[in-house]
């Protein structure tokens, strides 16, 4: 990694350390704009994630984090700009992405076991019967995330922490290059959250798997992030090392870029921790 000034197009000028540009890029977003009638949700987002890097995507509610994720995942069309995953247009590389959604998006009353979810991710369709090799693979990936006892458990009976383990397993089962986690610890109890953070820290230590974690949880940022991208009002306000952004001086910089009253009150600013 090299310490450089932020000079990418659309980036604020400041002393943020960007990834080494010579590293291969798992995700590359260039000047991404997303409009809905009467409103611009994303306003020229540009950054990249090199192989193996764990990025925390932060920002206040309404900053565009969810829109950004949906666009990367192909669930929302970009108005302009480009998203490339492993060098290919995002729509053609979705198998390279593992996704852990917010807990509220899935129907947890659905009559299913953990193994069904994982095999559905492997097949791209819901399994009626599970083959032995699929069972073995599901068991292996659950063991990898410390959830070996959850294989046959009904999803309606999973605790918050167990649910996220299973969803992480289903995201990892196809050996993606990039895993995207959307506030995975929101609504999870303290013990479950701490255990899940341990898991995320393991992913962060991996040199192979890149990750984007959307979070409001400062503990998660401090524990896992190798880089932080801070969104505000649909723009990248800051992109750098956690130490640079979590420090008081850089928060002032973020606030200054965000503009208006924020700059004047920068000494009061914190990354929001809503969990």
Partner 1 sequence: MDALLEPLLVPFMQRAMIAGAVVGGLCAMIGVFVVQRGLSFIGDGLAHAAFGGIALGLLLGVSLERMTWVALPFTVLIALGIGYVLRRGSLRGDVATGVFSAVSFALGVLLLGLRSTDGPQVNVETVLFGSILAISPDDLITVGVVGVVTAVLLAFTWTKLAYATFDPELAALSGVKVAALDYMLLALTAVVIVVAVKTVGIALVSSFVVIPAATAKMVGRSIGRVALLAIAIGTIGSSIGLILSYHANVASGATIILTLGAVFGLALLLRRR
For partner 1, give the closer residue by CB, 130 or 222: 130
Find the shortest distance in angstroms from Cβ 113 to partner 1. 7
Does 30 bind partner 1 (CB under 8 A)? Our answer is no
- Count of beta carbons in the 10 Å neighbourhood of residue 201: 13
Q: How far apart are CA 203 and CA 149, in angstroms?
A: 21
Does 73 bind partner 1 (CB under 8 A)? Our answer is yes
Among 8, 23, 120, 222, binds partner 1 (CB under 8 A): 120
| Binding mask of the shown chain, residues 79 to 98, with x at each position contacting partner 1 by CB under 8 A | ---------------x--x-
Q: Which positions from 2 through 21 interact with partner 1, judged by CB under 8 A?
A: none
Q: Which positions from 129 through 158 interact with partner 1, judged by CB under 8 A?
A: 154
Find the shortest distance in angstroms from Cβ 49 to partner 1. 18
Q: Residue 176: name the closest of 106, 94, 54 by CA.
A: 94
Does 39 bind partner 1 (CB under 8 A)? Our answer is no
What is the total count of residues that contact partner 1 (CB under 8 A)? 26
Residues at the interface with partner 1 (CB under 8 A): 73-75, 94, 97, 99, 101, 105-107, 109-113, 116-117, 120-121, 123-128, 154
């Amino acid at each position: 990694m090299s310490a450089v000034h932020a000079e990418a197009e659309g980036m604020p000028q400041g002393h943020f350390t960007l990834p080494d540009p010579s590293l291969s890029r798992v995700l590359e977003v260039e000047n991404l704009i997303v409009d809905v009638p009467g409103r611009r949700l994303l306003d020229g987002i540009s950054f990249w994630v090199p192989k193996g890097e764990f990025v925390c995507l932060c920002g206040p509610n309404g900053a565009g984090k969810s829109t950004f994720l949906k666009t990367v995942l192909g669930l929302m069309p970009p108005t302009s700009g480009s998203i490339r995953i492993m060098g290919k247009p995002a729509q053609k590389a979705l198998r390279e992405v593992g996704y852990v959604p917010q807990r509220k998006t899935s129907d947890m009353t659905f009559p299913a076991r953990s193994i069904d979810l994982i095999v559905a991710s492997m097949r791209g369709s819901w399994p009626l019967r599970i083959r032995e090799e699929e069972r073995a693979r599901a068991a292996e990936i659950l063991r990898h995330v410390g959830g070996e006892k959850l294989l046959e458990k009904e999803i309606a009976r999973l605790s918050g922490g167990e649910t996220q383990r299973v969803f992480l397993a289903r995201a990892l089962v196809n050996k993606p290059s990039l895993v995207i986690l959307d506030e995975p610890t929101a609504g999870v109890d303290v013990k479950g959250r701490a255990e899940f953070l341990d898991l995320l820290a393991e992913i962060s230590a991996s040199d192979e798997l890149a990750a984007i974690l959307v979070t409001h949880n400062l503990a998660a940022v401090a524990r896992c992030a190798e880089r932080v991208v801070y969104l505000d009002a649909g723009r990248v306000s800051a992109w750098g090392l956690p130490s640079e952004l979590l420090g008081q001086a850089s928060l002032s910089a973020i606030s200054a870029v965000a503009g208006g009253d924020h700059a004047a009150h920068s000494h009061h600013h914190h990354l929001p921790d809503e969990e």
